Amino acid sequence: MSDVVLSDAVISQLKAIVGEDKVRLDAESLETFGKDWTKVHEPNPAAIVFPRSVEEVQAIVKLANEHEIALVPSGGRTGLSGGAMAANGELVVSFDYMNQISEFNAIDRTVKCGAGVITEQLQTYAEEQGLFYPVDFASSGSSQIGGNISTNAGGIKVIKYGMTRDWVAGLTVVTGAGEILELNHGLKKNNSGYDMRQLFIGGEGTLGFVVDATMNLTRAPHNLTVLVLGVPEFEAIMGVLNTFQSELDLTAFEFFSERALQKVVDHAGLQRPFETEAEYYALLEFENESEATEALAMELFEKCMEEGWVLDGTMSQSIEQQQNLWRLREDISETIAQWTPYKNDVSTVISKVPGFLNEVESVVVENYPDFEVVWYGHIGDGNLHLNILKPDAMAKEEFFERCGHVNKWLFEIVERYKGSVSAEHGVGLLKKAYLPYCKSEGEIALMRQIKQIFDPKGIMNPGKVLD
């Protein structure tokens, strides 16, 4: 535990900036706002502060510079890499009250969001305007736009719509030096030198804090339809992907294992998609705009059956069926949380995924025969989620220590496949030591120099991404 305590004078200055009731020191607040979804580190912040404007954030950062106080950003706290953990007496800056949506422009299809806007809030707002915000994931009901931008969140529709990065038209940030930067101003085309906006997207708050963002919207998809297909082996999924993607414009292509399906069905009381049991399952989504589109989907399904790539399948016939089929994939993370899973979020190019997964699984099964392994992920963009489940009788500390040994072997495979140790969850505290497996010494050195420029005193989310 850290013994960092903010002085009465600093507390008074913080209260003068944000108001008496927007600085919290009580144990419950420190516990709640000092952590994310990771369970490796214990929260131990010095205080929580709740700014309501860009200017208040700037004043907090300037005060922190003056007193060399470490700052940690807090959004929806749904991160899985420890990026929002305050374990060493840091001052947590929560963006909960910066949750306004404004400046909607129907012609530009843009909208301005405070950092604290919840993802689902933006999705609902877009729908009310007859438009669509496509970045979506299981935590959309609690994750915040600022956190999504800071981790470049991906989710379930990347195959068609890309990552959060692709939807950020402009940013307002407060740098580690306390300077306010307005970046890109919502422009579609801007070729006027370095695009510093991109440094803050995925920067995990280490260069400065995202305080508001201009987000792009798009047209809403029509009559989304879901297919769930059972496949006998992982290699077959590539044939399915290639077959469907060559003829249909897919909005999602996900996968999960039989073990993942069993857990969700038992936990959530859902029905299996069909009686046939398969080693893996592919979930495809597409816009079913006509009878011809549906007929084509069935033709492709039959072709995959003939090739032996698919054992069985089902197609949604209603919105309720579509939602229930999606739950088979989307409820996995919540379902397995009760086993305190050791998570890894890795990626490689799509064509190399089968060999990559098989190598990783061989290493895990060989070294941890008594552990359950649950696979799922966004196969349409090469992103795999490896989850090792903690045995009920094993202490959390022992489990994490044992699982930690597998990382070296896992990330050596990642390095060999020229992949990433973090596809979408960020680096944070948990992946920091493994950055050299996907970044060269030269790249890491340049990252340190960039941080020094934007955060000269090293107060912005220290210890995350880089030491």
**153 shares its domain with 205:** yes
CB 158 within 8 A of CB 380: yes
Closest C-alpha to 208, from 217, 195, 199: 199
pLDDT at 406: 84
- Alpha-carbon Rg for the chain, nearest whole angstrom, is 23
Final residue in a domain of this structure, among 164, 185, 219: 219
**123 shares its domain with 170:** yes
The 10s digit of each residue's pLDDT in 191-203 is 999 999 999 999 9
Say how far apart CA 264 and CA 448 lie, in whole Å.
42
pLDDT at 1: 35
pLDDT at 3: 56
Q: Which residues of the chain have pLDDT under 70?
A: 1-3
Final residue in a domain of this structure, among 95, 110, 130: 95
Q: What angle do CA 56, 57, 62 make, to 5 degrees?
A: 95
**117 shares its domain with 203:** yes
Instruction: Convert 305-329 to b/e letters by CB count within 10 Å (16 or more is b).
Output: eeeebbbbbbbbeeeeebebbbbbb
Final residue in a domain of this structure, among 95, 126, 157: 95
| Residue 196 resides in a domain | yes
CB 38 within 8 A of CB 430: yes
Reading across the β-sheet that carries 101-105, which strands appear in turn?
Answer: 101-105, 110-114, 208-216, 168-175, 180-183
Q: Please tell me what DSSP assigns to residue 206.
A: S
| Residue 202 resides in a domain | yes
The 10s digit of each residue's pLDDT in 45-85 is 999 999 999 999 999 999 999 999 999 999 999 998 999 99
CB 270 within 8 A of CB 209: no
pLDDT at 274: 97
| Residue 142 resides in a domain | yes
Three-state DSSP state, 7: coil
Residues 6+ apart with CB under 8 A from 64: 70, 71, 91, 459
Three-state DSSP state, 462: coil
Cβ neighbours, 10 Å, residue 5 = 12
Q: What are phi and psi of 386, to 5 degrees?
A: -100, 125
Length reported for the chain: 467
Beta bridge partners of 212: 114, 172
CA distances from 6 to 17, 23, 92, 252 (A): 15, 12, 12, 48
| Residue 462 resides in a domain | no
Could you tell me the CATH number of the domain that includes residue 73?
3.30.43.10
Could you tell me the CATH number of the domain that includes residue 173?
3.30.465.10
**328 shares its domain with 247:** yes
pLDDT at 80: 87
**47 shares its domain with 67:** yes
| Residue 430 resides in a domain | no
Tally of domains in the chain: 4
Cβ neighbours, 10 Å, residue 291 = 8
**166 shares its domain with 275:** no
CB 228 within 8 A of CB 273: yes
Between the two ends of the chain, the Cα-to-Cα distance in Å is: 19
| Residue 381 resides in a domain | yes
Per-residue HEC secondary structure of 362-413 comes to HHHHHHCCCCEEEEEEEHHHCEEEEEEECCCCCCHHHHHHHHHHHHHHHHHH
| Residue 461 resides in a domain | no
**83 shares its domain with 113:** no
**366 shares its domain with 283:** no
pLDDT at 368: 85
**211 shares its domain with 232:** no
| Residue 111 resides in a domain | yes
pLDDT at 267: 93
Say how far apart CA 165 and CA 93 lie, in whole Å.
23
- Looking at residue 140, its amino acid is S
**199 shares its domain with 287:** no
Say how far apart CA 420 and CA 90 lie, in whole Å.
29
Domain range for residue 412? 340-425
Say how far apart CA 238 and CA 354 lie, in whole Å.
8
CB 62 within 8 A of CB 22: no
**153 shares its domain with 192:** yes
Could you give the maximum distance between any two Cα atoms of the chain, in Å? 74
**26 shares its domain with 119:** no
Say how far apart CA 302 and CA 284 lie, in whole Å.
15
Could you tell me the CATH number of the domain that includes residue 345?
3.30.70.2740
